[in-house]
Chain A
């Protein structure tokens, strides 16, 4: 009897010990896994940087970024046409998208009944989930011909594959991100803010403009920056409609050639030409750094906004 009790006691203790040891092991494994995420991030950056070292040794970064001569066969890798292509398409896309998105978000957050809001949110999510090539396809079928017609009407000779077409598609693609983040940000503004301003005899729009938008401007800016970063890195859809001519775009109806499109278009041939792969990897590295920094800034701003609103 006594022995049996003793045995059971040790067994329980044993298993308890085993269990808490298991617990500690799991905790360590998880911590290591977590650390490896951060290591991986660094690894991606370093990997691309290492691959772009060869070209950085032959030419300075400034020259690479600011020269507009792109002649791989003569080892001239000026990235300016592509940088300007990215900046032009992205900025134009934001100009097209931000006002529409902001107004939509304000409507959803301030005016729409919750039934409408709950109904529209999944639809916006759906828009965000459409694959980029499908946007591209739609752009080829609808936007490009439309831009061609518009260009002809305005006296430009254009194929339609142009800066404007790329920017339009990009604008549509970033709309769901901007709308949903802005709606969330606006709804985080406390009701007291609205009551206070409304009680002064303001209209709903005045309340929105002077109080709600003002106190959430940091969050809204973050949403726009996130949209901007997404647009700058978007590849396939833009590639399909933007024309891809390595020249600094001269008008809305001229073709452009953003960085991601450059990378995507040339992987096939880059092995055969010296330094070509290095130049492309440098382009990828530049893209990574720029987009990551924008994302970081926006995320930090959103975190700060969330903390302030509490």
Chain B
């Protein structure tokens, strides 16, 4: 009897380990594939030149247009989200809103974070149509902001919520108002977490393709104004992998590798930076 049960235990433990190994090895396989395919394609020309012959013609050139475009799009969206999101994260705290309101809004934000980015893309497109604006960097940035704002607000909200009440009470006791306390004490205390949230949001923003597909367009040129269409790394992959021309596919591989590196750096960076800042702030 016990023999059988011990055997069952061992069997399931084996299944668990195998499952975890499967998940991890998929990750390794993805990293490996992208590195093996992308490394030969990624050279100086690739990252400094714009394509010479369009994504359907091949020829020389690289993906500088997509790199610059993606940085502009994700950077702009992250900045906008930070500007709008930080006040929102504070507004969720109990100093500013009732528990019920905050609870409902948190729920709404969580649901918004789950909404597919293609829906935001469609919505952004509808608005732009209505306003008579064509696909442009501005449109892309605004749509991307919609995508990452809920995540950023909730992430910042969680760290701001963790600031101990005692700390705020000290500040109140010293005569500071609620808002002064938020700025001087809470913000400072929560800064590492906020930085992490911002970096992670940037990572999410730069990888998103569905939201900018309609709204940012694509172009072979470097962006000149915010009203012009702009290229991006995810769409560079999406458009160029589908062509039969080898040189163009190379660009897709290079873009994928770059994107992956950015995501890795973001993932690592958010951890390292978050911890380093935390060390400076507490004590």
Contact = CB atoms under 8 A, between A and B. Distances in A.
Interface stretch (B27-35, B40-48, B55-63): B27-35
A98 B134 CA distance: 42
Interface stretch (A60-68, A70-78, A121-129, A192-200): A121-129
Given A111-B16, A141-B37, A123 B210 contact: no
B8 A132 contact: no
Interface string A20-56: 1011001101110110011001001001100100000
Which of B9, B115, B117, B260 has the most chain A CB atoms inside 10 A of its CB?
B115
Nearest to A302: B110
A284 B207 contact: no
B91 A299 contact: no
Nearest to B207: A131
A156 interface: no
Interface in A152-208: 172, 175, 179, 203-206
Contact of B108 (A38, A142, A263, A288): A38
Interface stretch (A1-9, A229-237, A246-254): A229-237
B256 A134 contact: yes
Given A129-B204, A129-B266, A133-B237, A287 B112 contact: no
A131 B88 contact: no
Contacts of B204: 129
A284 B122 contact: yes
Nearest to A277: B129
A236 B118 CA distance: 9
Interface stretch (B158-166, B176-184, B187-195): B176-184
Interface of A is mostly: helix
B126 A141 contact: no
A104 B207 contact: no
Contact of A47 (B22, B123, B208): B123
Interface hub of B16, B105, B109, B252 (most chain A Cβ within 10 A): B16
Contact of A281 (B91, B116, B122, B259): B122
Interface of B: 5-6, 8-9, 12-13, 15-20, 22-24, 26-27, 29-30, 33-34, 37, 84, 87-88, 90-92, 95-97, 101-102, 104-105, 107-112, 114-123, 125-127, 153, 177-180, 200, 203-204, 206-210, 213-214, 234-235, 237-238, 241, 252-253, 256, 259-260, 263-264, 266-267, 271
16 contacts: A22-B177, A22-B179, A23-B180, A27-B179, A38-B104, A103-B12, A106-B16, A127-B27, A129-B204, A130-B207, A130-B263, A133-B235, A137-B241, A235-B209, A236-B234, A291-B115
